[in-house]
Structure 1
């Protein structure tokens, strides 16, 4: 069974999906998070907004830290947007709210959905991380939709990342590829891999989305594949397509070189 390194927190969904396709998922968390500005967030949640934008599970977790269904009952009649199934599940589980935009896949597509479904004078609350992209607020504001961005969690490198990478490199796991889930994670991992001799650097790199893929390329590393959607099945599809194409290429080269 081939082993795939997933640079994210352990996930039953990903573990199950990869196992069903005869892969073993190895999880390495490159990031750690700290909630901030929760008092300001609690105040903002009592404001008059057309909706809430939560583009990550971490943002949903931060909101949950100060969530009170009795105080925030008005949100049940407002729109909540996110970019993928995992975040939508977290929003439902922690806040009891149904999220829209789960097929968007990225911030740009989500912004287009919000613009299409809401009046130009609408105002949205956008709890987010300190490393957020400005793509979504910029698009919405260009269409007249107001966005109150509020940093509710901070991201930094996992204190155990180098030790985890060295253990992975020195173990018998022998992974076939690595999958990256965030631009910041890419940067931290790449930096640590430069500090010691390893086999991991030569593995194929896959990305959960375009922003992560662009970060990998900016670091001077070739990208092997990008998931079409931020879902386990899409990640598996990109991995399988890559190895199918490389196998075909090897066979073709061998055939053409035969006398």
Structure 2
């Protein structure tokens, strides 16, 4: 049974999808998150000047949920809420009680196109985000004269135990067959730590959850073995299988 390293927090959905395809899964979390500016976010949520809300990460959804008061924010039930994937879509419904749009968009570029086609140029959206956000979505929407009010609600930092986790992985009894990356910032932290000690991990095939993460890996001078067609477990497994099947 091949061992696959997933650089993300533990997930039963991913574990199940890979196990069913005869892979052993190891989760390594490269990131730590801390919430900031929640009072400012709560004040903005209380305003009635936005056509909608854009939530492109689980942490942004968590930040909003920490401020959420259904009795005070009833107007959001009549506004548009956009996200990029089915997992985030489900999280928004469960945490906020809202019905999001864009769950099949898959990435920021497709989401920006969807928002542009469904809204007028005078629209204004609230965009809670992280300190390392991509500028793709804001830039594309601003080109369409759609106003984006960005508020940084969480900070992304390197997991303090990342190097220790990587060394343990490198020295384990069974060598991994590949590594799957889930964020550009995670790619950067992992790559930087792998430069600090001799390892077998750097030569493994690198897979990405989406194009943004894939571009980051390539910018670090590394090759991409595959990119998931959608940011869901089944697509990630398919990407890995597609690589190893002709190589067996």
Distance (Å, rounded) in 1 between the aligned partners of 2:38 and 2:161: 27
- Matched residue SS, 1:223: coil
Q: Which residue of 2 aligns with 1:112?
A: 113
Q: Which residue of 2 aligns with 1:151?
A: 152
Scaled by the length of structure 2, the TM-score of the pair is: 0.97
Q: Which residue of 1 aligns with 2:95?
A: 94
Distance (Å, rounded) in 2 between the aligned partners of 1:142 and 1:201: 39
Distance (Å, rounded) in 1 between the aligned partners of 2:216 and 2:89: 25
- Matched residue SS, 1:103: coil
Q: Which residue of 2 aligns with 1:253?
A: none
Deviations 1:193-247 (A, max 9, x none): 1111111111100001111111111111111011111111111111011112323
Distance (Å, rounded) in 2 between the aligned partners of 1:183 and 1:85: 20
- Matched residue SS, 1:148: strand
- Matched residue SS, 1:121: coil
- Matched residue SS, 1:216: helix
Q: Which residue of 2 aligns with 1:2?
A: 2
Deviations 1:110-159 (A, max 9, x none): 00001111122111000000001111111111112111011000001000
Per mean C-alpha deviation after superposition, the further-off stretch among 50-59 and 20-29 is 20-29
Deviations 1:64-103 (A, max 9, x none): 1111111111111111101111111211121111111011
Q: Which residue of 2 aligns with 1:220?
A: 221
Q: Which residue of 2 aligns with 1:22?
A: 22
Q: Which residue of 2 aligns with 1:68?
A: 69
Q: Aligned pairs, how many?
A: 247
Q: How do 1:224-235 and structure 2 match up within 5 A? A: 224-235=225-236
- State the Cα RMSD in Å: 0.9
Q: Which runs of 5+ in 2 are unaligned?
A: none
- Matched residue SS, 1:70: coil
Scaled by the length of structure 1, the TM-score of the pair is: 0.93
Distance (Å, rounded) in 1 between the aligned partners of 2:94 and 2:197: 41
Deviations 1:3-31 (A, max 9, x none): 11000001111111111111122110000
- Matched residue SS, 1:43: helix
Moved over 4 A (4+): none
Q: How do 1:1-259 and structure 2 match up within 5 A? A: 1-47=1-47, 48-247=49-248
Distance (Å, rounded) in 2 between the aligned partners of 1:45 and 1:105: 25
Distance (Å, rounded) in 1 between the aligned partners of 2:22 and 2:141: 42
Deviations 1:30-87 (A, max 9, x none): 0000100000000010122111000000100011111111111111111110111111
Distance (Å, rounded) in 2 between the aligned partners of 1:169 and 1:46: 49
Per mean C-alpha deviation after superposition, the further-off stretch among 90-99 and 37-46 is 90-99
- Matched residue SS, 2:67: coil
Q: Which runs of 5+ in 1 are unaligned?
A: 248-259
Distance (Å, rounded) in 2 between the aligned partners of 1:173 and 1:75: 50
